A and B are shown apart, each in its own frame.
Chain A
Amino acid sequence: VTNQPPRGLLNPTLHLFGSALLVTAAELLLKVGASAAAAGKKASIAGGIADGLASPWTWAGIVCYVLSFLSWLHVLRWVPLIVAFNLMNGVHILVPVGSWLVLGESIPPARWVGIGLITAGLFLIAKPLAKMEERL
């Protein structure tokens, strides 16, 4: 019986980063899958969903979502919700930057300002987590 967070592959901080990266990958994969479905030009919502599910990209995205949720549950076991959830907002940086790098989407100036504010906030919030790591 121990109250110490696990180290190595079960390290909660590692899983927080992993969960954020998996959500980002899931969003980008679903976008690719949904774009493939939109190319099929099905007028109905049901037809669009059927086209989306026909794409392997969509299924890869769903797998990433499920894995990120399992990782998230492990994070909640050790990290306070207020710290973990706010750090998870880092996906709002990773998704636009990933869309820019991978999908070639543009980032308008106001979005860069938002990314800057989130980055500053993450640095303020990450301190308690870093302290928790120091106690290991």
Chain B
Amino acid sequence: VNILPTPPPPAPTPTAPLTAPPAATSPDLFTPTNIALIALSVAALVVGQVLLKLAMRRTSDPSPSQAAQPPPARTGPRPAFLALGIACMTVWFMTWLHLLGVFPLSLLFPFEGLASVLLSLAAACILRERTSLRLWCGVALVGLGVALVGWA
């Protein structure tokens, strides 16, 4: 016969806040430092990817107007752009990893979606890549979708 009193439930032990705090504390999270880190993360991702594309693309100017001309000789990767691109992506990775530990996903993913749209604008304006209305509709849907996917 079990006459022992049931042991009390273990007291909640304070653990290190390795996971994101609840969204209720969100207003406190948007400090000037954190806003600057989010901006740095987005900028590093956009600049890094543009640099990687510049490093890898085969011709110096693949504008549509030159499409009719004979293809220029293939060029190898450009080491300087590649190194700068990898440096930017390292900054992005470290900043993003830090932000993931501080913010809940639902607050962070809208910026991931925004970064995707900004990167598309950079590809169109800086790299002069060909776009269409259909493509921009897709970019908007993907950006919106990524922002929503973080919703908990």
Q: CA A1 – CA B75 in complex, angstroms?
A: 10
Q: CA A89 – CA B16 in complex, angstroms?
A: 32
* Interface SS majority for chain A: helix
Q: CA A80 – CA B123 in complex, angstroms?
A: 8
Q: CA A45 – CA B88 in complex, angstroms?
A: 24
* Interface SS majority for chain B: helix
Whether B38 is near chain A, meaning CB under 8 Å from some CB there, is: no
* Interface pairs (28), CB distance under 8 Å: A1-B74, A2-B71, A41-B15, A43-B15, A44-B16, A73-B56, A77-B56, A82-B127, A82-B131, A82-B135, A83-B129, A83-B135, A85-B49, A85-B123, A89-B146, A96-B149, A111-B150, A111-B151, A114-B146, A114-B150, A114-B151, A115-B145, A117-B141, A121-B138, A121-B144, A124-B138, A125-B142, A128-B135
Interface on A for B, CB 8 Å cutoff?
1-3, 38, 41-44, 48, 72-73, 76-78, 80-83, 85-86, 89, 92-93, 96, 108, 110-111, 113-125, 127-128
